[in-house]
Chains A and B, each alone.
Chain A
Amino acid sequence: MTTSAGATTNEPGGHMPKGHSMRGSANDNKSASPSVPKVSQTDSSSSSVMSDSVQVVSFAPPAPYHAKWAYTTTDTLALVLITLVAILVRCYKLSTPDKVVFDEVHFGKFAGKYLNGTYFYDLHPPLAKMMFAAAGKMAGYDGVFDFKSIGLDYIAAGVPYVGMRLMPALLGAVTVPATYVTVRACGYGLDTGVLASLLVCFENGLVTQSRLILLDSPLVFFTVLSLACWAMFWTRQHAQFTPAWWFWLVSTGAMMGCAASCKWVGLFLFPVVGLSTVADLWDKIADRSLTPARWAAHFLARAVGLILVPLAVYLFWFQVHFALLYKTGDAAGMMTTEFQTTLAGGLNVTTDRDVYYGSEIRMRTTNGRNGYLHSHAHAWQHDKGSGQQQVTIYGHADQNNLWIVEPAFNTTADASNGPVPVPKDATIRLRHKTTGKYLHSHDKRPALSSQDTKFELSGYGFDNFAGDSNDNFRIEILHGDKHSEGSDKHVQAIYTRFRLIHSNLHCAVYNSRKKLPKWAFEQIEVNCMRNCMPRMSTWHVEYARLPSSASGASASAEGDLAARPQASYRKLGLWGKIAEYNRLMADSNGSLTGDHPFAARPQHWPWLRRGTAYWGGRGNFIYQHGNPLVWWGALGSVLLFAALRSVLFVLDKRRIRPGLFGQRRKYLSAAGFFVVAWAGHYVPFFLMGRELFVHHYFPALWMAILVLAFTLDLFTAGVPRFARLAAYFAVAAAVLYAFETFSYITYARTWSKDACVRTRWLKTWDFDCEHAFGGVRSTEPPPESTPKAEAAADKVAAVDKVVVDDTVPAAAAVGGGADAVEGAEKARADGGNEEGIPAEIGVPFAEEFNPEEKPEEETSEAAADAVYVKPEYDDPTAIKVAQASPVQAPESVAADIGRKSNQPATGETIDDKKPVGSADDKHVEL
């Protein structure tokens, strides 16, 4: 008990006015020691001044320690000084190198696109990129230079790159005073505040990241500001619902919204702040002086400040984003048709609305985004196929996508009263316009699937042959459009969503989204699937026209034709656009895989296994690398906290309460909050399969640095003041020394090879000293530095594939034909090595969505099919390969597995980890 009392007396920040706390010490001990309430009651009565003076909410997870921060002129002085230092550190040699570095390739380019209004797609939210665009605009960038590849010269191109880099540098500088504010608001003294801000200021990784046109500097800035505001909010607990209280609450929310609008990593702030809010509200329940209504007011205030405000901010930036990008661009093809129509110069389809027997139609797969039902005069070539004409899905509108609707086999439509519209549940045939074959299905396996529920689709028919009943498909209308009368009764272009059900096989025409082999021009497979879910078997007509000959109309009817009702895609509203964009971001984040040579998994981040090579020149280079002392210290203090907390937990349960130099409550709540925040920004990455880099650790790093400062404070709390200051100076000096040591690779300062090699403290630090003076590689490009293509969602891959369809002379570009250019550009950009750029390390990593180079995902089923080679004879005694998954996925029932596993395997299963045609250059080493 004496420890508990001691804890309060020794609080440095303990100059709270007495009596503001309504809860008393019963709460103070909540998580710490539930079994001593009686004693703490006594305690509070005997020394109420002391125990009330600091109110701590330490229900797990702890909220920032909250004490009123008495702001003084010393604070002002300290803030001004450290801000100046920070600006100096961040802006030193900002103009070096005058070349495109690392991901400036992408984010510079995107900034340019904002300036000239061209639509693009990126898997990050827009705010940070728009900030770069604004910076570029102010600095005089015209959006012409395209940041094509790493190493391109800014000066020659006349790009005001310094102005653009100044923005992140200043944001980075602001994080330093913000750190000071946070630490002070957590109840720590001036010395600890200054120390923490110096640790942040002289952290090489943060410095590197904030000097370039990269998204992480804005992200870290907003993250830091969010938590600084949150800490400030906690200093206002004695004056709830005052303007200042509201200001810090809403600022927290706004900053969180901005952080999430830079990168989705910012979303990790929400569980962190949310947990501490829930803990606080939960504590408030115990306070019987708070009426339920008052409690509800607290709840609502936080819901507004921490949920509604961020959401509004996030949506606002998207609105700005869409307002700026009004022109269609290369990436438009990835969006839905409804989206594309909102872009100026984009998809603009107007077609006859009604589909009649005899109409020429072009059918688009509705949910797949990869194109039109297509056929061409080439035959299926797979083993189990029919050898009849191929039917595929193709991304571009051309003549071979046109089909003519005809009545079922052996029937005719009575066109005497004018053209007959195609009704619901009609049985029709589709005749391919250029080749005259009918869409056909039969009991043959499709090219890429072997299951017996999937059938090949082909074009079938020849002269003097009327066809057969296997050409019949029933139109099953799934739904119409409520704005278009009758679209659920008759087939209407664009408005009617339907499925094509084969009359004999009862299978639906299905978009399997798999890429066919070269002999089918790598178009997308379409087959006929039984028991098919509607999503990937839904189609709509995008173009319909009744030829005048087919309508049987005389010249007078031509006028009718012209007067026929038209249909066009309805434009997507703002909400729809935001929703679609975010869905796409989620998809592409999920499928982002790659093997960038400097990608790093989370377990390697905190102990600074290695950094990332950004750029290499002659005698100097940039390698994004942390300040090892800071990183290791931060990691150590986080682990120390975890260990200490566990020990305290156990001891508390056994009624032993160490006082931790009287710092117990302050340390546990403040460090506890930031350890939880650190974990919230770090642990989730382990669940992500996508490609990750060290820079994803920066928000968590900042939180860990605060814990480091708190820990240093804790261990110097018990010593005399001069010893404490001496210790702080020693830490600062060591950090400064390490900063200087690594500043060469941070600022691209020129240094010698010897110094460089000496600086490799760990073997795993692989900065390439050949770039330093004395290195031998100054004229050679690094070998094999071609990065692997970034992955993308397979659904959208096909649209932007440059497909050579030999039967089609020129692919008419309906939204996306120009992608070829983009593809070529991208390939060059990612190739990294333009001739004439002598030496660069640093492979650009295409972190944005890069549809061109995504290999179509091979499923194991397709792969197994593809490698199947008929055995020459079947050795019944053969022992089959022990495979990771010898059992095929079941067709119908769970217990199938038993039966199937008893049969010899019929197909060789490829280990999924080694997909067909995977990278041959995955062994890039620099």
Chain B
Amino acid sequence: MSSYGPAAPVIFYDQSSSGSGGNGHEKFDDLHLPQKPVGFSAYPLADRLDDDTIDYPSTRSQRARSRGISEQTMIIVLTLIAAFTKLYRIGRRDNVSWDEAHFGKFGAYYLNRTFYHDVHPPLAKMLVGFSELLAGHNGTFEFKGGHNYPAYVNYRFMRVFNALFGIALTPMAYITFRQLRLPMRFAAMAALFVTFDNAICVMSRFILLDAPLLGFTALALTMLACFYRQRSQPFSPLWWRYLLLTGVALGLVSSSKWVGLFAVALVGLYTIAELYEMFCNVHMPVNTYVRHWTARILALIVIPLFVYMLTFKMHFSVLNRYHGSANFMPMGFQVRLRGNPLGKQPYDIHTGSYVRLHSHDSGTGYLHSHEHKYPVGSQRQQITGYGYADPNNFWAIDRRMVAGSFNTAEDVDMAAAPIEGAIQDGDLVSMRHNSTSTYLYSESRFAAPMSSKYHEVSAVSVNSTEAKHPNIMWVVEVVKPEKRMKDGRIHPLGTPIRLRNAVSGCVLLSTGERLDKDWGWGQSEIACEKGGKMDEEHLWTIERHVNKNMKSTNLGQHMSSSFLRDFAVLNRQMWLTNNALIPDHDKHNVLESDPLTWPFMVYPMRMVGWDDRSIKYLEVGNPLLWWGSAIACLVFPLQVLYWLACWKRGTLGSRWRGGELREYLEGALMLWGGWALHYLPFFLMGRVTYLHHYLPALYFGILFLAYQLYFVSTWYLGERSIRKVLYGSIMLVAFVFWWFSPLTYGWDKPIKQLKGMQWASSWPVYEDRFEL
């Protein structure tokens, strides 16, 4: 207490030497100003509560004075209750349930080290993998949905490991409230609220990502609250500790799921508000201000980013076996994966090599031809872009003239037989289609079938007269080769090339158009463009190289790999994949739900099959908590608006003067802001949304409900009534939790035998709405 006395050396936020009290016209911006003269702490409440242990949770053990229960005892008791609710009959359903099919499998990939692609960052799945490792799993079980767990998979242990995060929510909620200076009994109430939510409980009991996400979100909030508590003592060791820990927690939460970024936004907004307030304080030395900025940049930007990247680094180093899902990664990454069929190929490309060219234009695929003619233009055989590997994609590449030995089309000797040797940048080559024995050919007389501004590209038989035209000759131009492949020759994978026709000088490209479905099977149009552009659609990579006379080498040694590039590519792909998850609005999907329906829990979700014998789990929350928190959160803006109006009018009573309101608002904004930031952005998302996306917001919402209960009751009620509210709400919530517990812990009898579970007509407890 003493350190908060009037003589406290650090005047942190105090900025007004005069204040504006007394004239009844406080300014909005004065909201941040304490009403006491300089020298008084910004935190007048520091000495308000007698039973408060200020530097909690420090290592020092301090006995709380109320009722003689120490903080430690309280935390232990609460944690035990939480552990019981989360672990009770956790292994009851012994087959792969709900999304265990995915996340269990992803975890197993870390054991068998196969690369995979998923929309979520890797940390939470690595934790699942870690739990599998501890459970002794060898990575062979595939977690097929609904299958029974074999004996060698200790799924119980894995679930318990995951449930630890759910259990940890309870003590963290308690600590958060203590840091916000609520008394122990109300902190305990908040912790019990969190414990007794059925939805959080049921989602913590399986091998899912929700529990780690919730756990890390709660950790971030707890650390933020601890940091907030330290803010009158900037740069003290505790201040640093909690600031850095906040950063670490943010890193962990955003590495679990991108929803964690909302927690980053919460802390970010808090920090901005703090820095803005300091900015308005003209008495703060600039040096101090700069130090504040530096500390926050370090702790809240650098550290989380570092943690986030570290998890990806671990992800890449563990997953070192090839799988097709790595196809979007940079080639330098792919060839390093063990078992990649492209990893070992002949290095130099010689006359007589067979190559498969892959366009850099996404969606085009391979340079392809087949025994079908264009119905227009030259009516010669088609050249297309085709997305699948098949023999029609292979071309024999022959070196015709050496780089630099020709200048104009007249120099091109049509009769020139292929020259032996490795093909170099600038060489003249012919491309012979393997399965139809035709040459790649372009003539400027004909326009491409769909895009008339380009020349047509076609295939001419090796025996035809056209095969003697120099139009079959193409100049190979290497564009931006891999660093270690800059030897002037062309190689598989690492040297993107352009093919420039020797006669017309046009460059082979994929136009992005599709050929007619009737005659061109909707494949991509390939054409030839005059000019020297170097866009993606002009570039081709030799993806596969076959030459029986040459030895394969390990291409990995020629390809550079950069973690930053791999990291960026993977994150971009995650983003694209995430955005591709678009719901079909014509389809009724019992699992999806609209964000609008979440706060009032309009559509709980069935997690497993609903037949009579199976053990059924319903993702249904504790309605008291869901509805209560929704109302509290929706009413709060009105409440603030009302107070603002009163404050603006100067009719806000004396409460404001004491700083009590300020203290209240800061805590409330932290919790309510967490709810809003974790909920409202879902309305902007086009992707499919599910009920459990609301759980992080719900955590904040439940805490906010408890927070409001405390403040409203202390403002308006006497001690006896406060006690009634306190114990009454705990009992009620616990009772409702117990009421719905059959659906949380599994119900293995016909659902009709379970009465009274349907509290709203839209709930799919007994009947499915749109079952046909």
Contact = CB atoms under 8 A, between A and B. Distances in A.
Contact of B587 (A453, A863, A920): A453
A901 B325 contact: yes
Interface string B433-477: 000000000000000001111000000000000000000000000
A37 B25 contact: yes
Given A881-B365, A897-B119, A531 B102 contact: no
B772 A533 contact: no
Interface in B555-599: 576-577, 579-591
B208 to A, nearest CB: 9
B333 to A, nearest CB: 12
Given A453-B587, A889-B582, A873 B391 contact: yes
A408 B29 CA distance: 75
B385 to A, nearest CB: 9
Contact of A38 (B18, B453, B512): B18
Interface residues on A, range: 35 or more
Interface in B99-124: 99, 101-103, 105-106, 116-119
Given A897-B577, A898-B102, A923-B453, A880 B327 contact: yes
Interface string A44-65: 0000000000000000000000
Interface residues of B, number: 83
Interface in A338-389: none
Interface string B659-699: 00000000000000000000000000000101000000000
A913 B362 CA distance: 11
Q: Is the interface of A mostly helix, strand, loop or mixed?
A: loop
Contacts of A902: 116-117, 323-325
Contacts of B85: none
Interface stretch (B159-167, B516-524, B721-729): B516-524
A34 B30 contact: yes
A30 B688 contact: no
A517 B517 contact: yes
Nearest to B449: A920
A878 B388 contact: yes
A320 to B, nearest CB: 36
Contacts of A881: 327, 358, 362-365, 387
A899 B142 CA distance: 11
Contact of B523 (A501, A867, A882): A867
B392 interface: yes
Interface in B341-382: 341-342, 358, 362-365
A422 to B, nearest CB: 19
B586 A37 contact: no
Interface in A895-914: 895-899, 901-904, 908-911, 913-914
A535 B770 CA distance: 12
Contacts of A899: 101-102, 105
A885 interface: yes
Contacts of B386: 869
Contacts of B28: 30, 34
Given A282-B648, A285-B645, A910-B363, A893 B388 contact: no
A670 interface: no
Interface stretch (A502-510, A575-583, A637-645): A502-510
A95 B84 CA distance: 88
Contacts of A93: none
A885 B574 CA distance: 10
Question: Which residue of B106, B388, B392 has the most chain A CB atoms within 10 A of its CB atom?
Answer: B388
A533 B586 contact: yes
A566 interface: no
Contacts of A894: 99, 581, 688, 690
A648 interface: no
B732 interface: no
Contacts of B388: 869, 871, 878, 908
A905 to B, nearest CB: 8
A288 B327 contact: no
A416 interface: no
A882 B390 contact: no
Contacts of A532: 586-588, 770, 772
A464 interface: no
A901 B582 contact: no
Contact of A882 (B24, B282, B362, B389): B362
B229 interface: no
A491 B28 CA distance: 64
A414 interface: no
B124 to A, nearest CB: 12
A891 to B, nearest CB: 8
B102 A911 contact: no
Contact of A892 (B116, B513, B589, B651): B589
Contact of B389 (A37, A282, A533, A875): A875
B713 interface: no
A887 B583 CA distance: 13
Contacts of A35: 15-16, 27, 29-30, 280
A911 B20 contact: no
B116 to A, nearest CB: 6
A835 interface: no
A549 interface: no
Given A506-B772, A871-B390, A916 B517 contact: yes
Given A34-B28, A37-B27, A867-B523, A877 B341 contact: yes
B589 A866 contact: no
Nearest to A534: B770
Nearest to A655: B282
A364 B190 CA distance: 56
Given A533-B770, A901-B577, A882 B29 contact: no
Question: Which residue of A874, A886, A898 has the most chain B CB atoms within 10 A of its CB atom?
Answer: A898
Given A517-B517, A885-B576, A910-B514, A879 B280 contact: no
B656 to A, nearest CB: 15
A513 to B, nearest CB: 9
Contacts of B521: 867, 869
B373 to A, nearest CB: 16
B603 to A, nearest CB: 14
Contacts of A910: 363, 514
Interface string B117-151: 11100000000000000000000000000000000
B291 interface: no
Contacts of A908: 363, 365, 387-388
Given A871-B389, A882-B327, A901-B577, A531 B363 contact: no
A873 B391 CA distance: 8
A747 to B, nearest CB: 36
Interface string A514-544: 0001100000000001111111110000000
A285 B101 contact: no
A286 interface: yes
A745 to B, nearest CB: 29
A38 B33 CA distance: 15
A548 interface: no
Contacts of B688: 889-890, 894
B328 interface: yes
Contacts of A903: 324
Contacts of A914: 363, 512-514
Contacts of A879: 324, 327, 334, 341-342, 358, 389, 543
25 contacts: A282-B648, A453-B587, A532-B770, A532-B772, A533-B586, A534-B770, A867-B517, A869-B388, A869-B521, A877-B342, A878-B388, A878-B389, A879-B389, A883-B328, A886-B327, A889-B582, A893-B98, A896-B102, A897-B577, A897-B581, A901-B577, A902-B324, A908-B387, A909-B363, A911-B362
Given A38-B18, A533-B586, A916-B522, 14 more contacts: A35-B15, A286-B649, A508-B772, A529-B586, A874-B389, A881-B363, A885-B577, A892-B591, A898-B102, A898-B116, A914-B512, A916-B514, A917-B514, A920-B452
The 10 closest A-B pairs by CB, nearest first: A878-B389, A867-B522, A895-B102, A877-B341, A34-B29, A885-B580, A875-B389, A908-B387, A34-B27, A911-B363
